[in-house]
Amino acid sequence: MAEAQKKSLIARGLLKLAIRAKLAQLERGDFSQDTIWDRLIFNKARSRFGGQVKRVISGSASLSPEVAKFSRAIFSCFFIEGYGQTECIVGTSQTVNDHRLGETGVPTPVNHIKLVDVPEKNYFARDNVGEICIQSKAVFKGYLHDEVKTHEAISKDGWLHTGDIGRWTEHRTLQIIDRKKNIYKLSQGEYIAPEKIENIYSRSRFISQVYVYGDSLQNALVAIVVLDDDMVKAWMTENSINEGSNAIHANNSKLWQTVFNDMIELGKKRGLMSYEQIKNMAFITEPFTIENGLLTPTFKARRHAVEKKYKNVLQDLYKVLQK
């Protein structure tokens, strides 16, 4: 067993070294496929795709840096990321010499792009951040038999409001960082409406408040949960657990698993797809309130504020899934 683990560590170390060396080669504009790393590692992977891949273009959802590095190294060819929507042909695209990860390049020749303020999420064009708007002959004319949605998407002066939040980088390339509306897009391309999922999970007898989160670089959802104290105490009594124990926190695995299973079962009963179900969660003790700035006056979660406050918690949930 120890010998197998040792070999696995050596293999992972070699792969990391190979990727680093290959990326350095690509940054020099060298797309050759005859290095020692190609013979040892990458040729085998390329052969599974027929060994004839000359161009790779990635769109739809953002690539995580890890996937982008791995893919660029393996294919060792012209590899670019782009951005666009069904409503508009490719808005931005990387150029052949652009190897920066997590960016989608510069506007394509047919498109004009601007960023506009999204004050409710503290994004302002003066800071080179805002909703991406596109104007060009490539923008669609409208949704079939739906003038209301068409007018929502396209302004009177012809700008398509994409609903995506972008940032102009120091290199004057575009980076997608958020969505304007409360919709997440996971790394596999699925769109997620978190409030629909939260409404289902909140039916759990254990839950007082729940917040569902999706990172565009991840392929799964996570959640933070405020427990219902009375229900937890009743559960503790039913299971003969001393109330003095730290049962309300995540280190009580039995409580965590019970709540998690209850949420998943509720999701199944109400027709959630597998990708709409959370894969990890954490308990928090401070409820969302108007006073602490985490709820609106209409008692809806201030999503930007919640994500900012619990950024580290949400990142840790994803780190656990990646182990």
Residue 187 reports pLDDT greater than 70: yes
The pLDDT of residue 249 is 54
Place of tokens 């009963």: 269
Q: Which domains does the chain have, with CATH numbers?
A: 2-80 (no CATH), 84-179 (2.30.38.10), 186-322 (3.30.300.30)
290-306 as b/e: b if 16+ CB within 10 A: eeeebbeeeeebbbebb
Place of tokens 């998407």: 153
Between CA 306 and CA 195 the distance in angstroms is 14
At 137-183, the pLDDT tens digits run 999 999 999 999 899 999 999 999 999 999 999 999 999 888 787 87
The Cβ-side half-sphere exposure at 108, using a 13 Å CA radius, reads 18
Place of tokens 């503290």: 122
Q: What is the pTM of this model?
A: 0.67
Are the beta carbons of 136 and 112 closer than 8 angstroms?
A: yes
The pLDDT of residue 121 is 78
Between CA 222 and CA 130 the distance in angstroms is 26
Between CA 34 and CA 14 the distance in angstroms is 17
Average pLDDT of the chain? 89
**Strand 221-227 relative to strand 278-284, pairing:** parallel
Arithmetic mean of pLDDT, 301-314 = 92
Are the beta carbons of 307 and 213 closer than 8 angstroms?
A: yes
Q: How many residues does the chain have?
A: 323
The pLDDT of residue 74 is 93
Higher-pLDDT residue of 2 and 312 is 312
